[in-house]
Amino acid sequence: MSEPTDTVVAVDVGGSGLRLQTYAGSPGPVRTAAGVRVGAGGIDVPALVGDARRILDDGLTSAAGPPAVVVWSMRGLLFLADRAEVLRTVVHGLGARRTVVVSDAVANLVGATGRIGPGAVVAAGTGAVAFGTDFERQWRRVDGWGHVLGDAGSAAVLGMGGLRAALRAHDGLPDGSPALLDAATALLGPPETWPRQVMTTPDAPERLAAVAPLVTAAAADDPVARDLCARTGSALAQALLRAAEGLPSPSLTATGGLLAAPPVVDALDAALARTGVARSPALGGALDGALLLARHLLEKGSVPEHPAYLLAG
């Protein structure tokens, strides 16, 4: 009888949900649960670990024993005051022989490049953040400050720019966009309701991001929308280049839903080309990166560590 294959577990926790995948000789199905929940004390890590525990209990037989490795990728890890407590909670709750807690920025980079080596990635979704590292001396995050203070190149900021241009047209001011005014009114209703919708609701960033497709769709015919998309792509390139600065022969890539918009991607690639570099297509996402890290730890016995980005226990 052959020896049982060690099981490794990858978990990625983001705003849209918790995703978990096992690997025991071959990858298992991706299972899901609710995403980040924020209470009075911040992100409710024990509740998330409980969700992951239930998924594992449903998917693993008792004969399989505890996982050999768990890699827990989490959005918002960098902003937590006690990251070591997150590690302790995951260790206690999932009971793996080895556990790694990692920022989703790192997992996203590893998944996008398919390797643990010098590289940088810019993620352009509702928010925007770039990250670059050589997994030794340099660990650099660029932006990711939220749509009020930063997130240049994000869908939320692009959508906000579209609404500003629409309101300038509504008020008869220069540089307004009647096309965006019509499109945004059809989506959100009368302009007088927009401030409440995008400034005072908990899902304001998502509401702003929902306007971004209107801007990218209008870019072919509307010069204001085209300029907004060009500035979005240029902002993403600037963040990516800064994240990669100083790295030896880095692999550069980009991820996120906004990359489905040709006018944004064209501007991103053109800005990179002006500096003599090009990006590679993203190979995967944060869950893929967490799984690669887990398999690396099982095979090699260690992973790079950093007190803010990657903690092993």
pLDDT one-digit tens code per residue, 183-216? 999 999 999 999 999 988 888 899 999 999 999 9
Distance between CA 7 and CA 83 in Å, rounded? 25
Element (H, E) at 87: helix 83-94
**Using an 8 Å Cβ cutoff, are 148 and 202 in contact?**
no
| pLDDT of amino acid 261 | 96
Nearest C-alpha neighbor of 74 from the set 309, 282, 312, 258: 309
Q: Is the pLDDT of residue 65 over 80?
A: no
pLDDT level of residue 34 (50, 70, 90 thresholds): confident
Q: Would you state the pLDDT for residue 37?
A: 61
In the predicted model, what is the mean pLDDT of residues 252-278?
95
Indicate the pTM of the whole model: 0.86
| pLDDT tens digits along 224-233 | 999 999 999 9
* Distance, CA of 158 to CA of 211 (rounded, Å): 8
Residue 112 has pLDDT above 80, yes or no: yes
Question: Where in the sequence of the chain do the CATH 3.30.420.40 domains occur?
Answer: 8-114+284-312
Domain 8-114+284-312 part of CATH 3.30.420.40:
yes
Report the pLDDT value the prediction gives residue 36, as an integer from 0 to 100: 59
Q: What is the rounded average pLDDT of the residues 154-166? A: 97
